[in-house]
Amino acid sequence: MSHTPKVNVVMPAFNAEKYIAEAIASILSQTFTDFEFIIINDGSTDGTAEILKSFARRDSRIQIHHQQNSGVAESMNFGCQVATGKYVARMDADDISLPARLAKQVAYLDQHHEIGLCGTWICSFRDSKESLVRYPQEPDIALCTLPFKMSIAGPSLMFRRRLWSEDSVRYRVGVGATDDYLFLVECAKHSHVSSIPEVLYRYRCHSMQVTDRERDRQHRFARQIRLQQLEDLGLEPSEDEINLHESICTWQLEGDQDWVKKVEAWLVKLKSINLKNRKYPSSAFARVVGDYWFAVCTRNARLGLWAYKTFVASPIAIDPGPRTDEKLKLLAKCVAYNFS
């Protein structure tokens, strides 16, 4: 009787010869070993196929599938279709999984049966520059963040295969690099989602990756995903409100006093409509809205004490909100600008 692995690691690969050996090695060196490594060669025209063949000869856990170039979404759907394990882990061909990644994600999902999908914190790196990217651990916060942005690092995710086989969640074809975003939104309709608050994945930034090559297209699709969630919340936003929401979501937070007040009115509206329709947990949604409000006021500290007074006087500046030391830092910045 053949052994069914507990985890299937699925990795699409297209013209990845420069980094794929390091990506494969990072999976093969995992402390958790009960996995099958499904690699989809997505019509590569460089040396990717030969590198895959070399690794497959040395490790029987690697299963290679070749196809015409179809994109990441179709590759992931095919990988999920042939997977047989309890969990499916995503992997990108230019990234690095740290040795304990699979072990910690499996343990987390084994212990938290209400969680259907989990990611990890990541270290984003380009050449010698690195930055830590955190994602919310609390499932309610992760859910309430989705109308604003992706709340889990897509390439780091591991999910229960039943989301694909029983709930029919699929990677959406034709939406560019936002396929992870849509996949997460759909998974969140069927199960709680979360992230392990530890860096277990290294995300490589380089000029050839899809997010760099299709940035404008990705922004358009992300805008559509967020708009759909606003409509699902019960809103029919105007074009000005949509543009305002996009400014917040894409971290374009600087403006004059009039702009800041418009942001406040929009965030108050979001909180109010959710209290009415109860699509999201109200306290968690209020926290997410409050965090964005604090970020807006902090970015506009150059407006002086007006920014601080506007922040604390707002109905969305709630507790638990920013820590006292963070509020004091905002006050100090505003005072400094006020007297500069």
Q: Give pLDDT tens digits for 21-63.
A: 999 999 999 999 999 999 999 999 999 999 999 999 999 999 9
Residue 2: predicted pLDDT: 72
pLDDT beyond 90 at 340: no
- Cα–Cα nearest to 40, from 69, 13, 77: 13
Per-residue pLDDT reduced to its tens digit, 62-81: 999 999 999 999 999 999 99
Is pLDDT of 212 > 90? no
Residue 12: band (very low, low, confident or very high) from pLDDT cuts 50, 70, 90:
very high
Residue 127, pLDDT score: 84
Instruction: Identify the residue whose tokens are 């019509």.
Output: 43
Neighbouring CB atoms inside 10 A of 227's CB total 16
pLDDT classification of 207: cutoffs 50, 70, 90? low
Question: Count of residues for the chain?
Answer: 340
The predicted-structure confidence for 235-283, as pLDDT tens digits, reads as follows 999 999 999 999 999 999 999 999 999 999 999 999 999 999 999 999 9
pLDDT value of residue 326: 85
H or E element that contains 272? helix 257-277
* E strands, 91-205, in order: 96-97, 115-126, 129-133, 158-160, 192-204
pLDDT at 300 over 90: yes
**The model's pTM:** 0.93
Separation of alpha carbons 35 and 161, rounded Å: 14
DSSP state of 29: T
**b/e map 48-72, b = 16+ CB within 10 Å:** bbebbeebbeeeebbeeeeeeebbb
Q: Look at residue 319 and tell me whether its pLDDT is greater than 70.
A: no
pLDDT at 320 (0 to 100): 61
Backbone angles phi, psi at 201, to 5 degrees: -145, 135
Average pLDDT over residues 316-333: 79
Query: Quick one: DSSP state of residue 5?
Result: P
Model pLDDT, residue 272? 96
Question: CA nearest 261: which of 303, 201, 210?
Answer: 303
**Residue 185 and residue 170 in contact, taking contact as beta carbons nearer than 8 Å:** no
C-alpha–C-alpha distance, residues 44 and 16, integer Å: 8
Of the candidate ranges 33-37, 103-107, 205-209, 248-252, the one whose mean pLDDT is the lowest: 205-209
The pLDDT score that the predictor gives to residue 324 is: 77
